[in-house]
Amino acid sequence: MVKKVSLFFAYFAFFLLALMYFTPKENLYYLLEKELRTYDLIISNEGVKDSGFTLNLENADLFIKSIKSANAKAVNVNFFALYNSVKISDITLSNVAASFIPLQIDELRFTYSIFNPLNINVYGIGEFGEAEAAFNVLERSLHIDVKPSDKMKKEYKNSMRQLQKSQEGGYSYDKTF
């Protein structure tokens, strides 16, 4: 009996791994890109490469309402059955945002797990400092905890006024959509 159960789990694990590996990730990406266009978000000039379990994009430009808003040197998308993540590295924001926030973001990491299906978690680090965010899909609410850098505190005082100071010494921001 134990042998049959372990054989079942081995076949199931193999099936899941094969499904993840052979999923047409490039086609799913282009479908997502098409869906984003309905929200006036366009990703262009990117190089797309399916690397088995991951999808890699290079030099992606983000346009919001036809205005170039950001460039990301590398985007790595991991499609796993129980845990999915998107890691965006070396992001440069458009000069339009220079009066609100520093333009260089080292890394943004988005994670989603079926063990916590209502929340999308985000971690970011850059010239602005460090931030952790959670977006609740059901309530459509966003909560961000920020540990601002000295540059952010000194040069972006107007943006800092939008944040609430927490008891731990950090800052937070809440919004419902």
Report yes or no: 148 and 157 within 8 Å, Cβ to Cβ.
no
Confidence of residue 60 (pLDDT cuts 50, 70, 90): very high
Confidence of residue 2 (pLDDT cuts 50, 70, 90): confident
Residue 68, class by beta-carbon neighbours within 10 Å (0-12 exposed, 13-18 middle, 19+ buried)?
middle
Tell me what the mean pLDDT of segment 37-43 comes to: 94
CA 132 to CA 143: how far, in whole Å? Answer: 8
Tell me what the mean pLDDT of segment 29-42 comes to: 93
Structural domains counted in the chain: 1
- What domain range is 74 assigned to? 2-176
Q: Is the pLDDT assigned to residue 55 strictly greater than 90?
A: yes
Q: Is the pLDDT assigned to residue 81 strictly greater than 80?
A: no
Q: Is the pLDDT assigned to residue 52 strictly greater than 90?
A: no
The secondary structure element, H or E, covering residue 67 is strand 67-79
CA 161 to CA 146: how far, in whole Å? Answer: 13
Write down how long the chain is. Answer: 177
The share of the chain scoring above pLDDT 90, in percent, equals: 79
The encoded tokens of residue 110 equal 């988005």
Token pair 């950001």 is found at 70
Find the range with the poorest average confidence among 17-26, 88-97, 147-156.
17-26
- 3-state helix, strand, coil split of the chain in percent (to 5) is 30, 50, 25
CA 62 to CA 71: how far, in whole Å? Answer: 6
* pLDDT the model gives residue 63: 95
141 C-beta neighbours (distance < 10 Å), count: 14
* pLDDT the model gives residue 64: 93
Indicate the SS3 state at residue 170: coil
Tell me what the mean pLDDT of segment 82-91 comes to: 94
Query: Which candidate, 116, 108, 110, places its Cα nearest to that of 78?
Result: 110
Residues 101-124, buried b or exposed e (16+ Cβ, 10 A)?
bbbebeebbbbbeeeeeebbebeb
